[in-house]
C-alpha cells in the first residue's frame, strides 16, 4: 500500500513527545511527589579503601528521622547481580552488597541510608552518624593495578585480575606476523567517562500495607527487567508484589538500565515504615555512585603484506571493572573484543582480554558498550598502517574491505556480518565531505594560523543482540487505538516511530493513537531499551502484533460483508471488495468486534493482539564518518568545522529521528575525544567530581552535521532495520582522533591520547 505522505514509514515525522517536554510539562520521576513522602539520602565513603565501624544511634533519635538503614538491616537481601554469562573459566565475581558491612572499596561506596520527613532533616542525620575509619592501601588505574605488589581490591583475585582469557586463534595470528612485510602498532588509553544524562536517577517507593504491595516509580531503561532483578535476586519477593513505573526519562545511555542500591534500599524503607519514600540523586551522587563508562588500555598490532593486505591482528586489551562488578561490566571488554577486526577481512586474529579491579566506581555499558572502544583501536591502527606503508588511508581501507558479495561474512572471531556496502559508504562520504577540496582548505587555514585535519573512520557495530521484546496493539470499544510497548524511551522518540509503524499499516493518523510504556501493570511484557535494540525488537514486535490485528480484522470484515476473506482488499485502513459497494474501516471493525453477532465462528470479541519478537541473531549497522577540524597553532584549541556521515541502518523508519540519534552519538564521541575525562588522584579521590572540573560538550563545540543513508536492509528481522542508537558514538571517536593526528602530522605526531585538550595538543606541537 502507498504510505500516507504525512506520517508513513520512511517519512520525517516530527516527534510526538516534544511538545510537552519543551513546555516543561514532562512527567519525570522527580515530578512525582506525593505529599506524604519522606525523603532519603545516602551516606557515602570519603575513602577509596577502608575498614569502618558505624554508630547510628544518635541519628536514629533525631527529629523527623524515620529510619537509618545499615548493612545489618539489609543482611537478608541478595547482592546486586552481575549478569555476565559467557563461558569464561574461571569466573567467580566478588559480592556487590546493597550496603557493605565493614569495608568500603571506592570513594562514594554507600554505607548507610537515611529516611526523614524532610530532606534537611535527612542531611542533619547523615552528619550525626559516627563513622570510625581505618584507611587501607588502594589502587587506581589499570596499569597500576596489575603491577607486582599492587594493593589488592579483593583478596580472592590475585593481581586484581578477574579473568585473563584469549579470544581468537593465536597460532594462526603468530603465523601471519611471521610472514609480514611490515607491522603497524598502537598503544591506546580509552579514558573513563561519566554518562551525565540530564535527569539524574530518582525513585519513589509507595507501600500498600493492605496488599503488601510496592509501587516503584523509577527513571529506568526497562521496567519489567528491573522488577525481575529486584524482586527475584535482591528483595526476594514475588514479582506480583511490585509494580514498576518508568515515566519520562531524561537520558539513559546504558547506565540507567541497571539495578542500583538505592532502588532496593528505598523499597526496604517503604515496607519497614509503611510510608512513601522519595530519593533523588544530586550530581555528586551521580559522579560517585552511578556506573561509569569506557576505561580500557589496549595495545594492537597489524601484520601487513607488501600490497597492503591485512594478514593478521594481535591485541592486548585490559578493561577496568572498578571495585565491584556491575550488571554487564565484564561483558563490555570481552564482547567488545569481537568487533576489533572492524569491517576488514582479517581472518587471523588474537586478543588477550583481562578484566581488572581497581578502587574506583564500577564500570558498565555506556553508549556503544565496547564497540566504540573497538572501532577506536582498529581505525587508529589502520591510519598508522597507512602511514607505515606510505599509502593513502582511504586506499588502504579499500584494499581490505569485506565485499558485499561475501555477505553474510564470518569474521575471524565469532560474529557473522549480515549485509553492507562498506566501500560504497566510504565513496559517498568522501564526496559528501568534498575530499578533493581538502588541500585548498588546508592552505587557506594555514594563512589564518590554523592547522586543518581530515579524519576518516569506517565502522561497524553489533546491534539488537539475540533476545526478546513485547508489544501490544489494542482497539477499545470506541475504535480508539492504544499501543503498549515493552521498550522504554529515554528521549529516542519511540512513541513517534512506533505509532508511525503501526498507523501506516492500519491507515490511521498517529494522533488517533495512545501510547503506553514503562508500566508493569499495563504492559504485558518487556525487556527494555539498550544495545540499539528497540527498532529491531520492539519494532518487529509491533509489526507482528499489527499483522495479527489485520488478520483478525479481515476475518471480521469478511463475515460482516458476507464475502470470502480472499475477496477482500485492504488499503489505507479500509477493507473493500468488488463483490459489494460497502467498505469497512479498521476503526469500524474494531467498534463492531465487541458484538458477537458480527464475529465469525471461533473469533473472540475485541480487536487486539500481543506479540513477542525473538531476535535470532545480531544485525550490524555500519558506515563511514569523516571529521574535518582546525587547530589553533598558538593555543591548541580545536574547532570541528565539518562533519559528514554515510550510514547503513537498513530500512529507515524516520529519517529525522535517525539523524538525531546519529547527531547525539557524534556529540558524545567528540566530547570524549576532546574534553571528557574522569580523573582519580593517587589516593582514589575523584578529582573531577563536578561540572566545575569535568568538561561536557556544548552545541558550540560542534558544527552542522551532514548525515546521509545508504540503506542495505537486513534479512535478520521482518522490518529490515539495523540498530542506530549507538552508531554515532562508535564512528565519532576514531574520526575525530584521526583528524587530530592528520592536523598535527607536520610535527611528527603519530598518535595523541584522548581527551585531546588544548593543553595536550599545545604540548604535542612543541614536542
Model confidence at 2, in pLDDT bands (50, 70, 90)?
A: very low
No. of helices (H) and no. of strands (E), the chain: 19, 28
Phi, psi torsion values for 535, nearest 5 degrees: -65, -40
> Residue 6 has what pLDDT?
62
**Higher pLDDT, residue 388 or 2:** 388
Q: Could you read off the pLDDT of 166-222 as tens digits, one per residue?
A: 999 999 999 999 999 999 999 999 999 999 999 999 999 999 999 999 999 999 999
> Residue 85 has what pLDDT?
73
Q: Could you read off the pLDDT of 402-433 as tens digits, one per residue?
A: 999 999 999 978 899 999 999 999 999 999 99
Q: What cell numbers appear for 710 in the block?
A: 545508504
> Residue 642 has what pLDDT?
98
CATH number of 293-464+617-765: 3.30.365.10
What topology does CATH give the domain 18-25+467-614? Aldehyde Oxidoreductase; domain 4 (3.30.365)
CATH superfamily, with its number, for domain 32-136+198-251+256-289: Aldehyde oxidase/xanthine dehydrogenase, a/b hammerhead (3.90.1170.50)
Q: What cell numbers appear for 166 in the block?
A: 584469549
CA angle in degrees (0–180, nearest 5) for 620-191-314: 60
Model confidence at 89, in pLDDT bands (50, 70, 90)?
A: low
C-alpha dihedral sign at 402, 404, 405, 407? positive
Beta strand extents in 77-125 (DSSP E only): 103-104, 110-116
CA angle in degrees (0–180, nearest 5) for 285-290-293: 135
> Residue 413 has what pLDDT?
80
Model confidence at 8, in pLDDT bands (50, 70, 90)?
A: confident
Q: pTM of this prediction?
A: 0.96
Residue % of the chain over a pLDDT of 70: 98
> Residue 24 has what pLDDT?
92
Q: What cell numbers appear for 542 in the block?
A: 509491533
How many Å apart are CA 572 and CA 574, to the nearest integer? 6
Model confidence at 90, in pLDDT bands (50, 70, 90)?
A: low
> Residue 412 has what pLDDT?
79
Q: Could you read off the pLDDT of 704-756 as tens digits, one per residue?
A: 999 999 999 999 999 999 999 999 999 999 999 999 999 999 999 999 999 99
**Residue 4, pLDDT above cutoff 60:** no
CB atoms within 10 A of CB 766: 8
Q: Could you read off the pLDDT of 214-242 as tens digits, one per residue?
A: 999 999 999 999 999 999 999 999 999 99
- Burial level of 265, CB count in 10 A (0-12/13-18/19+)? buried
SS (H, E, C) 364-429: CCCCCCCHHHHHHHHHHHHHHHHHHHCCCHHHHHHHHECCHHHCCEECCCCCEECCCCHHHHHHHH
Instruction: Count CA within 13 A, CB hemisphere, residue 258.
Output: 25
Residue % of the chain over a pLDDT of 90: 96
Model confidence at 86, in pLDDT bands (50, 70, 90)?
A: low
Same fold, 18-25+467-614 and 32-136+198-251+256-289: no
> Residue 7 has what pLDDT?
76
Residues in the chain: 767
Average pLDDT for the chain: 96
User: Any residues with CB less than 8 A from the CB of 64 and at least 6 apart, and which?
Assistant: 116, 117, 118, 121
Q: Could you read off the pLDDT of 357-372 as tens digits, one per residue?
A: 999 999 999 999 999 9
Task: With beta carbons less than 8 A apart as the criterion, state whether 638 and 489 touch.
Answer: no
Q: Where are the domains of the chain?
A: 18-25+467-614, 32-136+198-251+256-289, 293-464+617-765
Amino acid at each position: 500500500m502507498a504510505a500516507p505522505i504525512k506520517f508513513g514509514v520512511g517519512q520525517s515525522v516530527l516527534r510526538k513527545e516534544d511538545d510537552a517536554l519543551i513546555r516543561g510539562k514532562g512527567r519525570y520521576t522527580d515530578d512525582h511527589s506525593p505529599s506524604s513522602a519522606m525523603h532519603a539520602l545516602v551516606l557515602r565513603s570519603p575513602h577509596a579503601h577502608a575498614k569502618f565501624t558505624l554508630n547510628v544511634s544518635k541519628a536514629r533519635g533525631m527529629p523527623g528521622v524515620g529510619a537509618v538503614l545499615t548493612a545489618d538491616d539489609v543482611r537478608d537481601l541478595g547482592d546486586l547481580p552481575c549478569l555476565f554469562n559467557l563461558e569464561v573459566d574461571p569466573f567467580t565475581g566478588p559480592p556487590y552488597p546493597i550496603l557493605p558491612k565493614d569495608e568500603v572499596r571506592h570513594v562514594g561506596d554507600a554505607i548507610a541510608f537515611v529516611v526523614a520527613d524532610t530532606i534537611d532533616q535527612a542531611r542533619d542525620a547523615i552528619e550525626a552518624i559516627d563513622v570510625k575509619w581505618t584507611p587501607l592501601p588502594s589502587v587506581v588505574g589499570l596499569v597500576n593495578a596489575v603491577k607486582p605488589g599492587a594493593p589488592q581490591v579483593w583478596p580472592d583475585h590475585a593481581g586484581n585480575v578477574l579473568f585473563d582469557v584469549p579470544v581468537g586463534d593465536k597460532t594462526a595470528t603468530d603465523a601471519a606476523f611471521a610472514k609480514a612485510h611490515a607491522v603497524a602498532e598502537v598503544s591506546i588509553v580509552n579514558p573513563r567517562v561519566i554518562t551525565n544524562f540530564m535527569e539524574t536517577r530518582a525513585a519513589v517507593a509507595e507501600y500498600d500495607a493492605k496488599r503488601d504491595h510496592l509501587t516503584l516509580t523509577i527513571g529506568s531503561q526497562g521496567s519489567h527487567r528491573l522488577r525481575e532483578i529486584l524482586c527475584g535476586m535482591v528483595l526476594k519477593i514475588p514479582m506480583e508484589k511490585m509494580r514498576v513505573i518508568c515515566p519520562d526519562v531524561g537520558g539513559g545511555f546504558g547506565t540507567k538500565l541497571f539495578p542500583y542500591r538505592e532502588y532496593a534500599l528505598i523499597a526496604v524503607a517503604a515496607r519497614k515504615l509503611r510510608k512513601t519514600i522519595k530519593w533523588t540523586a544530586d550530581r555528586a551522587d551521580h559522579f560517585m555512585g552511578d556506573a561509569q563508562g569506557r576505561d580500557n588500555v589496549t595495545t594492537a598490532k597489524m601484520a601487513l603484506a607488501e600490497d597492503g593486505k591485512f594478514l593478521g591482528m594481535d591485541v592486548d586489551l585490559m578493561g577496568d571493572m572498578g571495585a565491584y562488578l556491575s550488571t554487564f561490566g565484564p561483558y563490555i571488554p570481552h564482547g567488545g573484543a569481537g568487533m576489533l577486526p572492524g569491517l576488514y577481512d582479517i581472518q587471523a586474529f588474537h586478543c588477550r582480554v583481562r578484566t581488572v579491579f581497581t578502587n574506583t566506581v564500577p564500570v558498565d555499558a555506556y553508549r556503544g558498550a565496547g564497540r566504540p572502544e573497538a572501532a577506536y583501536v582498529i581505525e587508529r591502527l589502520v591510519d598508522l598502517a597507512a602511514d607505515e606503508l606510505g599509502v593513502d588511508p582511504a586506499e588502504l581501507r579499500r584494499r581490505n574491505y569485506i565485499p558485499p558479495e561475501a555477505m553474510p561474512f564470518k569474521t575471524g572471531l565469532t560474529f557473522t556480518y549480515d549485509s553492507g556496502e562498506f566501500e560504497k559508504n566510504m565513496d559517498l562520504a568522501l564526496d559528501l565531505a568534498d575530499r578533493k577540496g581538502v588541500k585548498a582548505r588546508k592552505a587557506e587555514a594555514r594563512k589564518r594560523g590554523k592547522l586543518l585535519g581530515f579524519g576518516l573512520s569506517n565502522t561497524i557495530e553489533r546491534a539488537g543482540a539475540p533476545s526478546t521484546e513485547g508489544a501490544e496493539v489494542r482497539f477499545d470499544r470506541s475504535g480508539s487505538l492504544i499501543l503498549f510497548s515493552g521498550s522504554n524511551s529515554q528521549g529516542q522518540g519511540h512513541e513517534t516511530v512506533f505509532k508511525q509503524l503501526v498507523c501506516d499499516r492500519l491507515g490511521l493518523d498517529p494522533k488517533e493513537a495512545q501510547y503506553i510504556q514503562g508500566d508493569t501493570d499495563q504492559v504485558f511484557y518487556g525487556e527494555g531499551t539498550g544495545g540499539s535494540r528497540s527498532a529491531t525488537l520492539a519494532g518487529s514486535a509491533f509489526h507482528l502484533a499489527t499483522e495479527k490485528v489485520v488478520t483478525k480484522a479481515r476475518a471480521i470484515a469478511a463475515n460482516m460483508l458476507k464475502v470470502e476473506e480472499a475477496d477482500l482488499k485492504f488499503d489505507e485502513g479500509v477493507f473493500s471488495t468488488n463483490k459489494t459497494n460497502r467498505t469497512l474501516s479498521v476503526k469500524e471493525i474494531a467498534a463492531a468486534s465487541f458484538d458477537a453477532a458480527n464475529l465469525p465462528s471461533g473469533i473472540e470479541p475485541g480487536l487486539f493482539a500481543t506479540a513477542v519478537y525473538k531476535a535470532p541473531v545480531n544485525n550490524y549497522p555500519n558506515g563511514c564518518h569523516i571529521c574535518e577540524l582546525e587547530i589553533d597553532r598558538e593555543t591548541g584549541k580545536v574547532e570541528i568545522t565539518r562533519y559528514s556521515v554515510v550510514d547503513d541502518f537498513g530500512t529507515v523508519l524516520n529519517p529525522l529521528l535517525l539523524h538525531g540519534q546519529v547527531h547525539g552519538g557524534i556529540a558524545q564521541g567528540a566530547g570524549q575525544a576532546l574534553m571528557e575525562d574522569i580523573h582519580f588522584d593517587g589516593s582514589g579521590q575523584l578529582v573531577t567530581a563536578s561540572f566545575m572540573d569535568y568538561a561536557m560538550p556544548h552545541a558550540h563545540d560542534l558544527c552542522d552535521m551532514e548525515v546521509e543513508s545508504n540503506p542495505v536492509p537486513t534479512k535478520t528481522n521482518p522490518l529490515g532495520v539495523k540498530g542506530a542508537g549507538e552508531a554515532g558514538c562508535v564512528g565519532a571517536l576514531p574520526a575525530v582522533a584521526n583528524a587530530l593526528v592528520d592536523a598535527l602530522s607536520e610535527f611528527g605526531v603519530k598518535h595523541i591520547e584522548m581527551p585531546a585538550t588544548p593543553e595536550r595538543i599545545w604540548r604535542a606541537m612543541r614536542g
